[in-house]
Structure 1
Amino acid sequence: MIRIKKKQLEIFLKKYSLVALLLIGIFKINAQSLDKVAREKIRNLEKLISKAERNDIDVLKEKTTIRTAETFLTYANWDEKHIAENEKYFKKVPLYRDDALEKAKALPDFERKEVVLMLDEAISYLQLLIDKQVFRKPSKNIDWERVGVEGDQLTFEGRPVFLTDYTWKPDTKKLTEFHGNQDGFFITPSYIQQDGSLIPSVYNKLSSKEDGTLGFIFLNHKTVPEWALKAYGDSLVLPTDRYTVYDIDNPGAKDFQRRLIKAVVPFTANRKFSELGYMLCNEPHFFTQKTGDKLAWASGPVTEFTKAKFRNWLKQKHQNIDVLNKLWSSNFKNFETIRINIPIDTGLQGTPTWYDWNLFNLHRVTEWYQFLKNEIKKYDTNAKVHLKIMPNLWTDNKRSHGIDLEALTEMSGIVGNDSGAEHNRTWGPPYEWEKDYAFEWRELCMGFDFMKSVSPKKINFNSELHYLSTVRSRNLYLDPQYARAVFWLAHTYGMTASQIWYWPRKENGAISGRAGKGYAGSNSQQPRVTNEVATTMIDLNTNAEVIMAMQRQRKPVRIFYSKTSAINKKEHMDDLFHLYESLNFEGIPLGFVTKNIFEKQDHKKWDVVLVRKTPYATEEEFNAIQNYLDQGGTVIIDSESLKRNEYGVPMTKTLKQETGNLIELSSKESIKKVLMLFLERKGLGGNIIIEETNKVGKKGCIWKVVKNKKGNDVLSVVNVGKTNASLKISFKNKKQFVCIDLIKGVEVNTNPILKPYEVYFVELINMK
């Protein structure tokens, strides 16, 4: 890494600020001229690229930017000729409904102006590289045909890499060369015939498919074969709008899935296009909840097959009907006569009936996906499976959805998810996070930390990434730096590969028939956002070893997660988040621990367990914590935790301190204070101190520190706060140091002021 003197840095900043001056005239140029101006700037950038290459300067970013520019100029020309069609899509978004026509008319020039701005930035920065005012490490355009899965990482030419692509992006070289080249295959139950053969068109396509590039197999569940309906009856299909339209407890479901998997998997086994695994389901959820007469989202009834399975499950769990009747305050004659109303009413939350049903729902869904996994591995012994699980099903409070994130993550060979982050509102009441933060990071950080705690040695594949847009969060004028911030944060927290939602345009710019309500204001109208994603991925891959070190950080602090309290308490995950939030801005790697993690993982992976606002626990959960204490562990607990069993019956025992260390505290503030002292005494507090001040008065910079191969500290900071943050960075031993920006290759301020969304990524070099 090369340092530059203060005077050189001033020159760099002055030159880079010229970009702003270049913009002054852009908005005065008419539509016809904008396209011409943009194409002239492409030619200028191409000339600079040639000059830079002669000087051995890596220009992958600039080549990517040119491709992005060319793509969106094509899109702008299409948009100019299809105002009415774009107006229709803007009307689908509440935020843009009232001025949909104006938005549609302005869109072509908005895209062109963004392209011009993007090109100006690229030209200015490349000139700085040529003038040696900034410096760049070499990077490679990744060949997806040669990427492999190795443990918890993807590798290319012996180095870890991170990959991303877009859902439904056209498979053309123009779009796959720089913006992702993911492969795969889609299968759905209607593909299988009663004799066990695939329908001819699918068979021909699958049997002739080449190995292709790294990809995954998408198992769809939105269809049912006609022959199965005739054989098993109409009850095979449920009257509920879900991504799984059929009853997983109906024997017909296993019948047609066995036939489908047997027909398909021999063709997909050990192929490059299946190396990212078999995605067992898209956004699985099996909500069975109502409040009075109002059904919760995606909730619906269950069949007699499910009810019979529930009765058998209750019999195995309780053994004696008298035991169940006492808990439920019921008078059933035997297990066969048990009847409850499903969807279950939320008014029952906290009761034994509520607990048993929701625990069973988690169990039966996990059992179903275990069945699918087992069937796949009959024909592909090396198969890795995963599910596109929405992490908010864990980070939020509801537990009536049937998705046991821990069990399903543990079962999977790849950590699958559908992680999202929101940055604004297109409709609805304000979010809680808006008071303090520039974007919502709870699902991303907390969800990834939990999944990484459960399965630390697997890759993390976000197969429907919702960081750029969600149902309720979209902004046509989104700051591209948000894209950098959220992608950077996600990769430091564990993400390995992703498929971004989404690319609903054809190669000529026409809107895809699958665009739906999510198109207007999305990344397919945002050239700078799309380009920022691509260039951020280049920076991540250039520094992949350090990013992997951040993913692999030991998590000394573990928060105890009780599935029991999560089922029984209305706001249990809010309480857990508030503790997590209070610690997540201190540079401490955080994790979670559960009964299963206690029992299956080495206790040396952590140093302290925090138990807060967790009143309900099974005897097995209690014993797991006590056993950890007995082995010398440290537990910090509040006065309201571990007081009742899963059925609300008061516990007859309390945790005992013998060989371990048991500390009882009340508030999260006192827990944090004692925890920080504990970590300092244990030498786990790290060598770096970061003091933050901002106008909100609540920390907003999430940071991590690791050692690089040279033994120097590398610091990553992302400002998720809603205001500028002033940082003061120092070493505890007060040694002198400088900070080298690992993207720009220049010395930067050790007391930076970070804007919202800003990423600060530096190597700290000691001054001798």
Structure 2
Amino acid sequence: MNRTLSHLTIAALALLSLLSAPNPCFSDDTVTASATNPLTKEALAKITTLESKMEEAQTNGIDVTREETVVWFAKEFLKYADWDERNQDAVAYLFGEYAPYKEDKDKLAAEIPDFQRKKVVGILDGGIAELSRVISGEIKRRPVNKVDWQNIEVGDNMLINSNGRPVFLYDYFSKSVGRPLTDTSVYNDHLGAIFHGGENLYPPEHDRAINSFLLKEDRTFDQELLREVTGISESNVGFLIYWNQGIPEWVEKLEPEVRFGRSTFTGFDIDNPLVREVWGTIARETGALTKGKKVTQLGYILANEPHWHSIASGWTKRTGEMQQISSYTLNGFRNWLRKKYDGDLDQLNKNWGADFTSFETVEIEIPIPSQTRGTPMFYDWARYSMDRAIDWYAFIQGELRTGNPDADTHIKNSTHLYSDNDRAHGIDLEALTELTSMIGDDAKTRPTRMSYPNTPEAWEEHYAYCWEELSMSYDFMESVSPEKIHVNSESHFLSASRWRKLDTSVEYVESVYWLATLQGMDANMAWFWARDPDGSPEDRLEGELEFADLALAGSFAGSVNQQPHIANAYTQVMYDLNSFSEEIIALRQQRRPLRLFHSETSAINKQNHMTQQFAVYEKLFFEGFPVGFATENIIKKQDNQSWDAILVYRTEFVTDSELDSLQSYLDQGGTLIIDSERSLSKNEYGEPHSKSLNQGNGELIILSGEESTAQIRDFSFGKIVSGLPDVTLDEDNGSDHKGCRWLAVKRDDGSYLVSILNIGKNNAKLKIGIKDHTSISVTDLFTGKSVASEFDLDSKSVSLLEVRPL
């Protein structure tokens, strides 16, 4: 599938009308200068062609929403190219702020205007080609299910459009900061129209974000700042964010330790009683004042990327993160230890190799040395750090709901804190996902390696892009909270602080947004839109750039703001996803028959636990059904009949209560597959468990430990036969490593809906079938055309099929 061409065609037509119609962002001189460029002339001619075809299509009742967006982006980026050409020094400065581009900043600044014009021509060519095929009847496409931004309903586990159909929302985070919702040049169908209650995050003291500066020392509210929250437009769906980076001077004077234990986006000690008073008051009052407003339909974001990295490292020392803890945090840890050890000081001293005379005399070095990982002391600190964060967000959410009992909430969790091996960051993704009423995150993918260090990465051997963090964390969060709306409030699929690809492929954008949406994402705000309507970078990115968040200054260079084909592709793929919203909901609401057991206990204690878990997750990912997870809480709180078996893989460390939950599952008749006797053998402190699992009423299978991940997968499939899809898919991509992620669901009329994403780096030859049927028919739902049951699927391509037995 390639929507870029059709979208580009529209852009060309729009550009032509730009010259003929007055535009406050274009002076006559600008238009004249622009039109002298050969690429601009070519684009203008193609816009004329596309607009003519759009008129013909509309005469025949064909929806041209996609082409309208192509034209809009074509006009905008021709304008941007002109601005960049006239302001080459400013553009070079922005390139220089991103380290990998710094050396070539002048060269890149000189090339970027025509780069954008060429991409505009490309999207217009695509638009013309696709619409021509639609007009001729060669292909049939669905009209766009356009988002009704003013009339969105928050359903039980999906967002509903005004026409009653599911809808997936899209926009950009931190979008052209300060622009009002009435500014249709940045709030529209092309860029999205979600109100951002907290756009202006730099500086944090003002503008829409709910922050510490709202409350004065006399405990009254700063009315001017409060109006930024209470005066928000009531027209569009939106969200509010609690911005935790700053703390008023008056608090710091009263509590000199208030910045001890701070982190990048949490600039204060969450254990401080005055901080709790200040934020409790703010949460209660802002909740009451914004109750029932559309701007809260997508919830209150309780925090931006919370973390407390407490292992000693160079980067945390440079940024001042967790360089010491307050007396409040230390006393909280002492009380936690007293409860954890049930008052047994001797056991604590034995575990830690210490000789404390009381729990009140316990001390710990923070930041904690990395070599302590795997010791009881490290486990206790890491687990406490998670528990205190859970307590903080439970407190804030509770105070918010005192003022607004119906408030939806989520946390912008950085999902790499789950998929990475590090566990000294204070984030328990399961607990925070379970706590809030919506799933929240800012997951990322990337089609290139990290810009620094620029070294080979494991995913490059098999895949077109790095999908591990997105997929594994999304399957995990959806397993924890399967009925919740899922909001990615800062999606890093187009760029991030440590990766950039100036000529990102359209196919990658299509693939990753299909993948994320099929795995549960209901709304996303991409990072980031920073062009003002005249083409200049937004105000924050003009002049000398000095930010507390060092990544922001370099974020513009190589971003979507310089790539018309990517801006267009993002909107186009969201149009396609919304056109097939019912099908996507059906595909992603399937049962997860096999569950991979997850234990934070092992993740904390081991150096490479999540790397090991991904190895077996990866083997399950390409088999036609969604991967599920089980934890102690999932087993206790969810219907155990929702899956057929649980697989335990290289999970040596579990608490007594985790072991008890698995025994309870067996007692209820469950099937438990354990990779070896080493798994589940130790408690959180590395001591052998005094008890072991027994079969109970279920089936307990302990493998030898010599099996490969492929053998474990195949054995597990033998225990979930009834849960496997009826559809079959054979893949030949020239290697023994699968790359096509596919899902299949049976429909009421007996046909099967099949989604296939080739995220492998090689093209694939595929053969699709249905068990017990030798003859089938296959229809491409993107084009309405019949296709053979054997076909090729290019790397990064997306396919959506209807398969019928004959």
Would the TM-score normalized by the shorter structure come out above 0.5?
yes
Output the amino acid matched with 1:490.
Answer: A
Offset of residue 571 of structure 1:
0.5
Alignment of 1:282-321 (within 5 A): 282-290=304-312, 298-318=321-341, 319-321=343-345
Change (3 A) 1:292 1:650: farther
- 1:194 corresponding residue in structure 2: 217
Partner of 1:370: 394
Task: State the number of aligned residues.
Answer: 744
**Residue 291 of structure 2 contacts residue 404 of structure 2 at CA under 8 Å; is this kept in 1?**
yes
Secondary structure at 2:57's aligned position in 1? helix
Query: Equivalent residue for 2:137?
Result: 132
The residue that corresponds to 1:690 in the other structure is 729
- 8 Å Cα contact 2:261-2:326 kept in structure 1: no
Question: By how many angstroms is 1:292 displaced?
Answer: 10
State the partner residue of 1:637. Answer: 674
Counterpart CA distance in 1 for 2:584 and 2:756 is: 12
Deviation at residue 300 of structure 1 after TM alignment = 2.5
Q: Deviations over 1:693-717 (max 9, x none)?
A: 1234311111111234544211111
Aligned counterpart for 1:732 among listed residues 768, 771, 774:
771
Q: Does the C-alpha gap of structure 1 residues 757 and 299 become closer, same or farther in structure 2, counting only changes over 3 Å?
A: farther
2:804 is paired with a residue whose SS is: strand
Equivalent residue number for residue 127 of structure 2: 122
Q: CA deviation at 1:209?
A: 2.8
How do residues 91-102 of structure 1 correspond to structure 2 at under 5 angstroms? 91-102=96-107
Measure the CA separation in 2 of the matches of 1:219 and 1:687: 47
1:68 has 2:73 as partner? yes
Query: Of 363, 374, 377, which residue of structure 2 is paired with 1:339?
Result: 363
- Residue aligning to 1:481: 507
Note the alpha carbon deviations across 1:321-350, whole angstroms, 9 max, x for none: 122222222221111111111111121111
Q: For 2:231 and 2:599, how far apart are their aligned partners in 1?
A: 49
**1:558 and 2:595 correspond:** yes
The aligned residue for residue 194 of structure 2 is: 182
Return the alpha-carbon distance in structure 1 between the equivalents of residues 555 and 118 of structure 2: 23
1:49 is matched with 54
Tell me how far apart the structure 1 counterparts of residues 723 and 127 of structure 2 sit (CA, whole Å): 42
> Displacement, 1:535?
1.0
- Name the counterpart of 1:6: none
Distance 2:509 2:313 in 1: 38
1:405 to partner: Cα distance: 0.4
Tell me the CA shift for residue 655 of structure 1.
Answer: 1.4
How far does residue 31 in structure 1 lie from its aligned partner after superposition?
Answer: 6.6
Where does residue 468 of structure 1 map in the other structure?
Answer: 494
Letter in 2 for 1:449: D
CA distance in 2, matches of 1:441, 1:606: 25
Which one of the candidate residues 465, 479, 493 is aligned to 1:453?
A: 479
What CA deviation, in whole Å up to 9, does each residue of 1:662-720 have, x standing for no partner?
1122222321121122222xx22211111111234311111111234544211111111
Partner in structure 2 of residue 217 of structure 1: 240
Cα distance in 1 for partners of 2:291, 2:447 equals 40
Does the CA-based 8 Å contact 1:139-1:538 persist in structure 2? yes
* Residue in 2 that maps onto 1:4: none
State how far apart, in whole Å, the 2-side matches of 1:703 and 1:736 are.
Answer: 21
Q: Tell me the amino acid that sits aligned with residue 199 of structure 1.
A: D
Q: Structure 1 residues 86, 696: CA separation in 2 closer, same or farther (over 3 Å shift)?
A: farther
Report the alpha carbon displacement of residue 291 of structure 1 after superposing the two structures with TM.
6.2
1:166 aligns with 2:172: yes
Structure 1 SS opposite 2:282: helix
Do the aligned partners of residues 207 and 642 (structure 1) sit closer, same or farther apart at CA in structure 2, a change above 3 Å counting?
A: closer
Shift of 1:110: 1.0
Alignment partner of 1:279 is 2:317: no
- Describe the SS at the equivalent of 1:760: strand
Distance 2:349 2:737 in 1: 50
- In 1, the alpha carbon distance for the partners of 2:226 and 2:690 equals 62
In 1, Cα distance between the equivalents of 2:331 and 2:259? 17
1:662 has 2:700 as partner: yes
The Cα of 1:533 is off from its aligned counterpart by 1.0
Counterpart in 2 of 1:25?
none
In 2 relative to 1, CA 292–688 (structure 1 residues): closer, same or farther, beyond 3 Å?
same
Of 284-293 and 269-278, deviating more is: 284-293
Q: Which amino acid aligns with 1:347?
A: Q
The 5 Å alignment of 1:21-60 reads 32-60=37-65
Aligned to 1:589: 626
Asked if 1:385 corresponds to 2:409, the answer is: yes
Q: Distance in 2 between matches of 1:329 and 1:97?
A: 50
Of residues 235, 243, 260, the one that matches 1:238 is 260
Query: Which amino acid letter does the alignment assign opposite residue 215 of structure 2?
Result: I
Name the structure 1 match of 2:718.
677
Look up the match of 2:739: 700
Q: Secondary structure at the match of 1:672?
A: helix
Q: Which amino acid aligns with 2:192?
A: G
- Supply the distance in 2 between the matched residues of 1:294 and 1:218 (Cα, whole angstroms): 25
Amino acid at match of 1:525: Q
The alpha-carbon deviation at position 738 of structure 1 amounts to 2.3
Query: What aligned pairs does 1:523-602 form with structure 2 within 5 A after superposition?
Result: 523-602=560-639
Structure 2 stretches of 5 or more lacking a match?
Answer: 13-33, 198-208, 542-551
Instruction: Output the amino acid matched with 1:133.
Output: E
Give the alignment partner of residue 436 of structure 1, picking from 447, 462, 485: 462
- Residue 124 and residue 643 in structure 1: after superposition, are their counterparts in 2 closer, same or farther (change >3 A)? same
Counterpart CA distance in 2 for 1:347 and 1:208 is 52
TM-score by length of 2: 0.89
Cα offsets for 1:452-493 (capped at 9, x unmatched): 010000011000100111222211111111000000000000
Matched-pair contact (CA < 8 Å) for 1:196–1:263: no
Considering only aligned residues, what root-mean-square deviation do their CA atoms show, in Å? 2.3
Q: CA deviation at 1:113?
A: 1.0
> Distance in 1 between the 2:501 and 2:270 partners?
38
- Stretch of structure 1 that moved more, 172-181 or 481-490: 172-181
Say whether 1:649 aligns with 2:660: no
Q: Which residue of the other structure, out of 309, 325, 334, is the alignment partner of 2:349? A: 325
- Provide Cα deviations, 1:742-762, integer angstroms capped at 9, x if missing partner: 111212332222222111111
| C-alpha displacement of 1:562 | 0.8
Out of 600-609 and 173-182, give the one that drifted further.
Answer: 173-182
Q: CA deviation at 1:205?
A: 3.5
* 8 A Cα contact 2:647 2:716, kept in partner: no
Kept after mapping to 1: 8 A contact 2:262/2:308: no
Partners of 2:749 and 2:100 in 1: CA distance: 50
Do residues 357 (structure 1) and 377 (structure 2) align?
no
Cα shift at 1:197: 3.0
Going from structure 1 to structure 2, the CA distance change for 1:292 and 1:81 (only over 3 Å counts) comes to closer
Tell me if structure 2 keeps the 8 A contact 1:211–1:273: yes
Deviation at 1:36, TM superposition (A): 2.3
1:197 to 1:36, Cα distance in 2 relative to 1, 3 A: farther
* Residue 760 of structure 1: aligned partner: 799
Report the equivalent of 1:80. 85
Specify the alignment match of 2:547 in structure 1: none
Does the 8 Å contact 2:160/2:167 carry over to 1?
yes
- SS of 1:174's equivalent? coil
Q: CA deviation at 1:308?
A: 0.5
CA 1:229–1:240: 2 relative to 1, 3 Å = closer
After superposition, the Cα gap between the structure-2 partners of 1:367 and 1:535, relative to the gap in structure 1 and judged at 3 Å, is same
User: Take 2:748 and 2:498, find their aligned partners in 1: how far apart are those partners?
Assistant: 43
Distance, in Å, in 2 between the alignment partners of 1:521 and 1:292 is: 27
Structure 2 contact 311–368 (Cα < 8 Å) conserved: yes
Q: In the alignment, residue 152 of structure 1 is paired with which amino acid?
A: N
Identity rate of aligned residues, in percent? 37
Q: Contact 1:197 / 1:263 at 8 angstroms: preserved in 2?
A: no
Separation (CA, whole Å) in 1 of partners of 2:557 and 2:136: 41
Cα distance, 1:367 vs structure 2: 0.3
Residues 291-300 or 153-162, more deviating = 291-300
Give the gaps of 5 or more residues in structure 1.
Answer: 1-8, 23-28
Q: Deviations over 1:363-415 (max 9, x none)?
A: 00110011100010011110011100011101111110001100100001110
The one-letter amino acid paired with 1:343 is P
> Residue in 2 aligned with 1:111?
116
TM-score (norm 1): 0.93
Residue range with higher mean Cα deviation, 731-740 or 522-531? 731-740
8 Å Cα contact 1:546/1:706 also seen in 2: no
Helix, strand or coil for the counterpart of 1:218? strand
